[in-house]
Every structure is written in C-alpha cells, then in structure tokens.
Chains A and B, each alone.
Chain A
Amino acid sequence: MDGTTPLVEARGISKGFFGNPVLKAVDIALHPGRIHALLGENGAGKSTLINLLSGALQPDGGDIRVDGKPVTRLTPQGARAAGVAVVQQELSLAAELSIAENIGLGAAPRRFGLLDYRALRDRAAAASALVGLTEPLEMPVGDLPLGRRQMVEIAKALFREPRVLILDEPTSSLSAHEAGVLSGLVRTLAARGVAVLYISHRLNEVQALCDYVTVLKDGVVTADRSLADVSAEGLVRLMVGRDPGDMFPAFKPAAAGEHLIRVDGFSAGAVYDVAFSARAGEIVGIGGLIGQGQEDFLLGLYGAIPAVASSAAICGVGHLLAGVGAATAAGLAYVPADRKKEGLVLPHTIAANLMLPSLGRLMRHGLRDRRGEAALVADLARQLAIRGDTGRPVQALSGGNQQKVALAKWLPLGPRVLLLNDPTRGVDVGTKREIYLMLRAFADAGKLILLLSSDTPELVHLCDRVAVFREGRVVATLAHGNASEEAIVGAAMGLATKELAA
C-alpha cells in the first residue's frame, strides 16, 4: 500500500439477489490520485460493486469506509456528500433538458430559492470545457449523438467536483478522439488527487491508463495488484479463470442439411441489401460492433419488424414471413437479448412464461388441459435443470435461469430455426456452459441456429461460420478456423472486407 488513507474503501462486502450471491467478501480501496481499473466478465459483479460504493444498494455483509471511517448505511446522498460521482453505463440524462440543465441536474446553484441560471451556465461551461464539449449549452441533450451524450454525462459528474470518480465503461460509445480527450482528463484529475475507478472491456486502454487493478470473477476478487508488470493475456486469464477451450463443447462441422433460410437483397430496419443462406444443422454466428443491424436482421427474419427481400425462402415458405405468428408457425423461434423487457413476462410465474408460446396446443373440450400443461412445464423444467417451484414469479430466478426459461419456452413448438440474440449476456459462467452444450445438441439434432453474440469467443468456438455486420451489411463471412477473434474484430472495424464463404 502506498500509505495514504483510501477515500472510499469496501471491506469484505457481500451482496446477493433472490438468494443468488453476486459479491462474496469483496475488498476494494480507492486511493487519491490513483487510476484503479475494475475488470471482470459480464455478470462478475462489477455493476453491483459500483452500486454499493455509490450507496444505490446496501451490502448484505461487510462495511464501507469513507476516509477510513466505517459508514453504517451509505445512501446515495451520503455518497454524493462524500464526493463520489458515478458515470453510468446506461445514460441517465433527460433528453428534453438542455446540456447545462442536465449537467447541473440535482445540484444546480440557487439564488433566493430559484435556479440561478447564470451561475449554472458558468459552472456548466467550465465542466464542458474540461471534457471538450463545444456544443451550445442550450441545446437539448436529445439532439446529441450518443458519444456526445456520454461526454455530457461525464461533465455532469465533474460538475459535482468529485473526490472519487467512477467511470463505468465510459469509452464504449466514444470515438477515438473523444476517448483520447477522456484519457487526458482522467490523468489530469488523478494528478489533482481524485481517486478514479475505471471499468472497461478494452484491455489496451486499461493498460495504457491505469495504475492498479482489481479483477472480479463470479463475485470474488481474483487479483488486486499493481498493473505495472501484468500482460494482457495475464489479465484475461485472471478474468476468465480458465482456458477458453474448456468453456466450449468440442466443435463439430455441420453435415450439409437442407437450406432453411435463403434470402437475397434482404433489407429490414438498419439492414440493407443482405444476401444470406443457412442450412439445417449449422450454427451461424452473427458478429460485429454493437448496433450494426444484427438485431434488425434477426427481427426482420422473424417478421417482428417490416422487411423486404428480392427473393426469400424460409423453412419451405417462398417469401418473407409476414408476422411473428407466421414465423412461429413456420418453425422459427426468437430469443431476445433483453430477457427482462422482451423475453419474459417478469411478474408472471415460470409456468405461465413457459406456456406462453404453446397456448392453445394442449386443449380438452375447448378448455386448457391443466394436467397436460403441468406435465409439459415439469418436463421442460427438468430438461433445462430449472430448479424449484415453477409457480414462482420468473423474476425470482437468476439471470442465467431466466435465460433458460426464455429459451425453453420454445421447445414444445419444435422450432427448426433458433434466432438467438446474445443469449449469454449477463449469464454466469456455469449457465453459459450449459447453454453452449444445449446449442451444440440442437445443431446435432438438425436445427439451424443463428447466434448473434457480443461475446467474440462464442463466435470463434461455437460457429460453423460467422457473418460479420458493419453498417447494415455483411462485410465478411468467416468459416470456422478462419474466424479468429482478430479476424472477426478486424472485419467488424472495417479493416478487411474479405469474403471467405463457407
């Protein structure tokens, strides 16, 4: 330790949701003037730790110290008073308000009980200048592109003159130039004695910027050390905790089945003029940077958003499917990325969610066959190892088990094509592996799987080939073996547009 008292420190804190431990006896200390990286896979507990440090959540055990003194109950107000400012991953700006109003929101200077707009302007202008915001301060935030909004978010944190600045994936929506400005700013703040906690998935960025690292894996600290002599590979090993090879079932090339999807000149939403075909038994990866039209591609095939194609054949239907009903009837199933908002009816029971797509299939004398339904639900729960009472609301399950429900509910329909939108996002490592094995088994059983994933290793290890999207088009199709992480990321960034059709 470098002798200074940490500004904020957590000692042995634990936190669980619905009985699933998310953090187990975690220690972290934020020292003044130090840029501290927090690394971990999705679902490792990073967000929960941030929420505990900023008072948004209360720990189940352990304590949080501010300036070395234990705080019994850290509230968001208390954290703010202690100088903790968080820049969240989900932008928390009011689109209708101006840049200045957003920057000062909740901490705006007052005069005679009214907002002091002149003082607000001056101070907001100072904060904006720090992050390189040149847009007029009266401009509504809703008119700004995503990257600029992120800069407003950071200016908003600086406006509060924080002693501890927590940045949750601040560069994910920033351009290279903006990210450079941010790096400079973070160094300046650290030089002034601010403690910075920096969360990022970009390892080179972390290595260039940060002094110290805490690595979380499955809610446990696996490393807490100086970054001086750690390699990128070493960091990955600390985060993953095992060789990626162990995670994935053995790859098996698909036997050439019949064509289940064949579209030409396909456009839907952000997707423009894509030619694509896939056969039964294949696992086809859909990759690329976030928001390049991959989701619209799946939704368009599923009939959930309007789509056009110059020619199309899907599961024996000679045209695009007109709606979700037609798609499920043809044998397609879609598992959305955001299971809480799109995949599941959270307040309803596990059983009700599992039955939803199959309603009307089990009937007796025109009424729902209760016994048949109960047997089906029990069978699905057993197949997917969803433990416990299926009469519980589905929101009581962990993220991984929720995802299993979102997938399992389609099985009674016997779909031939599974459209999976990032099925392992926010899922713990154990369940991830279960899902991978399931996908392998589905493909072996002759189903076609389109796997959209933001997790590049999945694309590398599971897929027969990977279609990489960029700006609404397929810029590369990489066969298994050619589809290394470097090749996928390179194609996604527009480095090379080579066609290696399988």
Chain B
Amino acid sequence: MKAASISRGLLRNPPLITLALVALVWIVAGLSLRGFAAVGHLRYILELSAIIGIVAAGQTLVILVGGIDLSVGAVITVTAILLPLISPDWDPTGLLGVVLTLAIAAVIGLANAMGQVFLKVPAIIMTLAMATFLQGLLVLIAGGSAVSVTNEAVIWLGSARPFGVPAGIIVWIAVAAAVLTAIHRRPFGARLLALGANPLAARLSGVDVSRTTFAVYALAGLFSGLAGLLVLGMNRQGYVGIGDPYLMTSIAAVVLGGTSILGGRGSYAGTIPGAILLVTTTALITVVNASPGWRSIMFGSLILALLLISGREAQR
C-alpha cells in the first residue's frame, strides 16, 4: 500500500523519474563497466552536462511559456566565433569581451521576441529564421576557417578547477539556482506557467505578455551565449557549426525532464537530470565502443518511453 503510493507519487513527479533513471544508469554502469565510475569520468560527464544544462535552462523557460527556441545552436556558434574577434587586446582579463559577447547573445534573443511580439510571427518560425540568418552571417564573417581563443577569462572558464570542481559546473550551479528561484519563488515563474497554459486568460488576468516574452527569449539568448563561451573555452577554437549539436539536445533535455512541450507545465528541476541523462547515454555508448547511431536511437526511445510512463502529455 505504502510502496504503491510512493511509486505513484514518483510517477507523478517527472523530475524524480528522470533523476532515478540517472542514478540507476550510473549504478549499473559503475558496477559493470571498468572506468565508468571513476571520479574523473563522472566529473567529465557533469562538465559536458553543464553545457547542455545551461543551454537547456533558456530552452526550459521558452518551452514553459509555450514557445520553442530553434536558434540556441546558432547563438552558441555566434558567441564562439565572435568572442575571439571582438575581445579587445588591451583588456588582459578578457572580461570586456565576455560581457560584450553575452550582450550580443541577449540582443539576439530580444530580436526573437520582437518578431513574435510586434510581427506576430510564431516562435518556431521566428527562431528558425534567426538561426538560418545567423549561420549565413557567420559564413560571411568567419568564412570556413576556425578562430582560436586567447581570451583569458574564457580559457579559465574552460579549464579552471577551483577545489577540483570544473568552472563550467560552478557556472551551471549558479544558473540552476537562479532559474529555479525564478520559476518557483518569483512571480515571473508563475506568470510564465500561466502564459504557457492559457495565454488569453493570463493576459486578461494582467500578465504582461510582451514583457514576459522579451524576458524569456533574452534569457534564452544569454544562456546560449554563456554555453557558447564554455564550449569555446573547452575547445579553444570556434568554427561554423560548433553549436549545432546543442539545439536538439537542449530540447531533448527539457522533454526528458518532464516539461510539457506544449507549455504551461514543468520545471527546470527536471531538465537538470535530463541533461545528465543525455550525456551519460553518450558516454555509455563511447565506453562500450558502440556505433554513435545507437546514441540517437537510445535518445529517441528514452524520450518516448519516459513520456509514456508518466502519461504527462495525455493528462492535458
């Protein structure tokens, strides 16, 4: 009876399902695969998860409000290529370049929102057009060549390990704390969810639709930019296409975490284990030396399976 009610409570809590699944995979893989449970390996998994997790923070907000951001990959590429080009040489810390680049990323997000608010273009079209536009622009600016980074701040982000914890993970923890607070403890989050579930009722209840849309897409741009800096710091090189893998993984992490793709229900609390689960799966495939094709097949199956277990979309 009690066990049944606990398991039912678990099924009603998608973030917990995803977290339990991560724990299960880690335990089974740790016991059966050599090297998987090594501290260095797990830390590396988390470091890679941080990038997806930060991109997916913006994506979570966007999806909660009932939209989608298909430009996150392009924004990552933009920041990774633009930062080396616009960081001024006279700033030894590199912070100015970081700030400028993040501002540009946020402005791209604002442009996404403007298209929706003023031109009434649906999110999926607006952000797809933005992504295509940016990719074209980058080919013109950077050509086909890679740019190397010399910015100290970004190199630190990609390689420093204060107290043995990679800087990327620390940034992720900060982002997660901020986003979770915004969703659950600030009026912003409640407005977001109301808007995602019923835009008309939310508007008539006094929710400022344009302002919320601007905030959400600017944050999505900002977080993508931040992730772009991390990618650049770890890679030491930016090139056209470097952000592409993060578009679908960011959406997958959100959905794996139990957030409704239709908006209005979910939390970043699910996206966090969702991101870790995605990276863990990739790592498993690498450790057992299977074809990367299996990775995609597993992602697809996982998304559907978790969806069916909790019946989350069906409840609507």
B-binding residues in A (CB < 8 A): 302, 304, 323-325, 328, 334, 336, 341-348, 352, 355-357, 359-360, 363, 366-368, 409
Q: Could you jot down 22 A-B contacts, CB within 8 Å?
A: A323-B208, A324-B204, A324-B205, A336-B201, A336-B204, A342-B204, A343-B204, A344-B201, A345-B197, A345-B202, A347-B197, A347-B264, A347-B265, A347-B316, A352-B190, A356-B205, A356-B206, A357-B206, A359-B191, A368-B186, A368-B187, A368-B190
Known: A341-B198, A341-B200, A342-B204. A359 touches B316 (CB 8 A): no
* Residues of A with C-beta under 8 A to B198: 341, 344-346
Return the 9 tightest CB-CB contacts between A and B, nearest first: A359-B187, A360-B187, A367-B185, A328-B206, A345-B198, A356-B205, A345-B197, A345-B194, A357-B205
- The size of the chain B interface, using a CB distance under 8 A, is 23
* Residues of B with C-beta under 8 A to A342: 200-201, 204
Q: Is the CB of B194 within 8 A of A352?
A: yes
Q: Is the CB of B205 within 8 A of A409?
A: yes
Q: Is the CB of B190 within 8 A of A359?
A: yes
Within 8 A of A (CB), among B182-200: 185-187, 190-191, 193-194, 197-198, 200
A409 to B181, CA, bound (A): 24
Residue with the greatest number of chain B CB neighbours at <10 A, chosen from A323, A334, A356: A356
A-B contact count (CB 8 A): 69
* Residues of B with C-beta under 8 A to A302: 204
A131 to B192, CA, bound (A): 49
A368 to B186, CA, bound (A): 6
A357 to B265, CA, bound (A): 19
* Residues of B with C-beta under 8 A to A328: 206
Q: How far is the CB of A341 from chain B (nearest CB, A)?
A: 6
* Residues of A with C-beta under 8 A to B186: 366-368
Residue with the greatest number of chain A CB neighbours at <10 A, chosen from B198, B264, B315: B198
* Residues of B with C-beta under 8 A to A323: 208
- B191's closest neighbor in chain A, by CB? A359
* Residues of B with C-beta under 8 A to A366: 186
Q: Is the CB of A348 within 8 A of B181?
A: no
* Residues of B with C-beta under 8 A to A357: 205-206
A302 to B204, CA, bound (A): 9
Pick from B197, B206, B208: contact of A348, CB under 8 Å = B197
Within 8 A of A (CB), among B172-227: 181, 185-187, 190-191, 193-194, 197-198, 200-208
* Residues of A with C-beta under 8 A to B203: 304, 324
Q: Is the CB of B190 within 8 A of A355?
A: yes
- B181's closest neighbor in chain A, by CB? A367
* Residues of A with C-beta under 8 A to B185: 367-368
Give the secondary structure class of B's interface.
helix
* Residues of B with C-beta under 8 A to A343: 201, 204
Q: Is the CB of A356 within 8 A of B202?
A: yes
- A393's closest neighbor in chain B, by CB? B315
A344 to B199, CA, bound (A): 10
* Residues of B with C-beta under 8 A to A341: 198, 200-201
Q: How far is the CB of B143 from chain A (nearest CB, A)?
A: 47
Q: How far is the CB of B135 from chain A (nearest CB, A)?
A: 35
A341 to B203, CA, bound (A): 12
Q: Is the CB of B191 within 8 A of A345?
A: no
A325 to B187, CA, bound (A): 15
Q: Is the CB of B207 within 8 A of A356?
A: yes
Using A352-B190, A367-B186 as known contacts, list a sample of 11 further A-B pairs with CB atoms less than 8 Å apart, ordered by residue number in A: A325-B208, A328-B206, A336-B201, A342-B200, A342-B201, A345-B193, A346-B197, A348-B193, A356-B191, A357-B205, A360-B187
A359 to B206, CA, bound (A): 10
A348 to B189, CA, bound (A): 13
Q: How far is the CB of A165 from chain B (nearest CB, A)?
A: 34
A103 to B315, CA, bound (A): 34
Q: How far is the CB of B253 from chain A (nearest CB, A)?
A: 23
Residue with the greatest number of chain A CB neighbours at <10 A, chosen from B200, B208, B315: B200
A359 to B265, CA, bound (A): 18
A13 to B14, CA, bound (A): 39
The 8 A CB mask of B23-67 against A (1 = contact, 0 = none) is: 000000000000000000000000000000000000000000000
Q: Is the CB of A348 within 8 A of B264?
A: yes
A302 to B205, CA, bound (A): 11
A334 to B197, CA, bound (A): 19
Q: How far is the CB of A17 from chain B (nearest CB, A)?
A: 17
* Residues of A with C-beta under 8 A to B194: 345, 348, 352, 356
A345 to B263, CA, bound (A): 12
- B190's closest neighbor in chain A, by CB? A359
* Residues of A with C-beta under 8 A to B197: 345-348
Q: Is the CB of A334 within 8 A of B264?
A: no
A347 to B266, CA, bound (A): 12
Q: How far is the CB of B190 from chain A (nearest CB, A)?
A: 5
Known: A359-B190, A359-B191, A367-B186. A345 touches B201 (CB 8 A): yes
- A326's closest neighbor in chain B, by CB? B206
Q: Is the CB of A304 within 8 A of B208?
A: no
Q: How far is the CB of A331 from chain B (nearest CB, A)?
A: 12
* Residues of B with C-beta under 8 A to A355: 190
- A356's closest neighbor in chain B, by CB? B205
* Residues of A with C-beta under 8 A to B201: 336, 341-345
* Residues of A with C-beta under 8 A to B204: 302, 304, 324, 334, 336, 342-343
- A348's closest neighbor in chain B, by CB? B197
